[in-house]
Structure 1
Amino acid sequence: MDTPADDVLAGVGPRLRALRRARNATLAALATETGLTASTLSRLENGKLRPTLEQLLPLARAHGVPLDDLVAAPPTGDPRVHLRPVRRSGLVFVPLTRRPGGIQAYKVIYPPAGQTPTTRRRTHEGYGWFYVLDGHLRFVLGEEEYLLGAGEAVEFDARVPHWIGSADARPAEALVLVGPQGEHPHVTPAGR
């Protein structure tokens, strides 16, 4: 049974031959350049010899191509999250997660104090957690009010009426995690 490695290695020979011919190099010249024998190079190009890393490295150098090109490695993909910011109720939400359900992460930008259209407290199911990245936030939870600066974090039951906004004339930014009932985002203090 062929493995994925067999499939990848099967295409190496034709790629090696095409690279050598594109450079108008002979097997003898390539042998001198790589330290491999002309017989080994011929067997590699014809698929009669399974290539090893020790053989592929000097061939990649000689042909001036990355090793990934010799084996036609699949692209690894872009690991960055490219989600579009959303404006809602005067706030800018930058989603940081893509998966549905579970805990969702956002960077939220709060406009300067007095520029938020509402200070009405909201409730919803689940738990909330936020970490102040920049600026100062005013956090109202139930009948209590808190002023928070960069580096401070809060975790709360979102069923309690709450409101979050900038505490002064500057915008504020926070990392916000919101999870369904029963899913708590937690921060463990250092040293535990």
Structure 2
Amino acid sequence: MGDERDDAVLDAVGPRLRALRRARGLTLAGVAATIGVSESTLSRLESGQRRPSLELLLPLARGYDVPLDDLVGAPRTGDPRIHLTPISRFGMTFVPLSRRPGGVHAFKAIIPARPAPLEPTPQTHDGFEWLYVLSGRLRLVIGERDLTLPPGEAAEFDTSLPHWLGSADGGAVELLILFGPQGVRAHVRAEAQRPVRAEGRP
């Protein structure tokens, strides 16, 4: 009975790996290059032609940034809390809400209250950003545009344009940010108000 359960667990690993890869829009070649395993080995593993081993599952778990238990379908045990590591940058605190490599990344951003608002120092980089103001009043500078967004408003823009985020009145601001590489944009299915858009190159 125990051997049958073990076989069932191992047989389910391949389809689980394939579903995980496809859900993230990754190719076999891309995953193989990331974790250092041949594409043919990954293909055989996903199709069930090769049984999974610890030496294969460990780099896959690291490459997909998921617990090893997720790959073998083991029940979660221990501390159920999610431990997020904040990142401080540009006078703001970013709390990552997603852990997968590549694709769109989600953050909660916190701009602390200050006695006087900071002067804008616009930056540029490749990518596309979508943001939603949770609380406070956000000052958003994009190129020549200087906007103030109250809670509940959203904006999306090409980050190759000079841009800067800060508090409009010196108070604290909290917002959600989705950031993706160039050409990857957030798709909002329904919205109360149309988001502010700023485009760079076509």
Identical aligned residues as a percent: 49
**Would you say the 8 A contact 1:127–1:180 is kept in 2?**
yes
Per the alignment, do residues 112 and 155 of structure 1 end up closer, same or farther by CA in structure 2, a change over 3 Å counting? Answer: same
Whole-angstrom distance in 2 between the partners of 1:94 and 1:124: 20
Tell me which residue corresponds to 2:91.
90
Tell me which residue corresponds to 2:30.
none
Q: Give the secondary-structure state (helix, strand or coil) at the position aligned to 1:3.
A: helix
In structure 2, stretches of 5+ residues that fail to align are 10-72, 193-202
Deviations 1:34-80 (A, max 9, x none): xxxxxxxxxxxxxxxxxxxxxxxxxxxxxxxxxxxxxxx95325665
TM-score by length of 1: 0.57
Deviations 1:113-152 (A, max 9, x none): 5354x62101110100100011110001110111101111
**Would you say the 8 A contact 1:81–1:96 is kept in 2?**
no
**Bigger Cα Rg:** 1
Tell me which residue corresponds to 1:103.
104
**Would you say the 8 A contact 1:112–1:167 is kept in 2?**
no
RMSD of aligned Cα (Å)? 2.9
Tell me which residue corresponds to 1:132.
133
Query: Equivalent residues in 2 for 1:138-153 (5 A)?
Result: 138-153=139-154
Amino acid at match of 1:169: G
Deviations 1:20-43 (A, max 9, x none): xxxxxxxxxxxxxxxxxxxxxxxx
Whole-angstrom distance in 2 between the partners of 1:115 and 1:190: 30
Displacement of 1:86 in angstroms is 1.6
Tell me which residue corresponds to 1:183.
184
Whole-angstrom distance in 1 between the partners of 2:8 and 2:98: 35
Amino acid at match of 1:103: V
Query: Equivalent residues in 2 for 1:165-176 (5 A)?
Result: 165-176=166-177
Displacement of 1:6 in angstroms is 8.8
Tell me which residue corresponds to 1:11.
none
Amino acid at match of 1:163: W
**Would you say the 8 A contact 1:90–1:115 is kept in 2?**
no
Whole-angstrom distance in 2 between the partners of 1:163 and 1:7: 52
Displacement of 1:7 in angstroms is 8.6
Tell me which residue corresponds to 2:76.
76
Whole-angstrom distance in 2 between the partners of 1:176 and 1:190: 16
**Would you say the 8 A contact 2:133–2:153 is kept in 1?**
yes
TM-score by length of 2: 0.55
Whole-angstrom distance in 1 between the partners of 2:108 and 2:122: 20
Displacement of 1:159 in angstroms is 0.6
Q: Give the secondary-structure state (helix, strand or coil) at the position aligned to 2:99.
A: coil
In structure 1, stretches of 5+ residues that fail to align are 9-72
Q: Give the secondary-structure state (helix, strand or coil) at the position aligned to 2:98.
A: coil
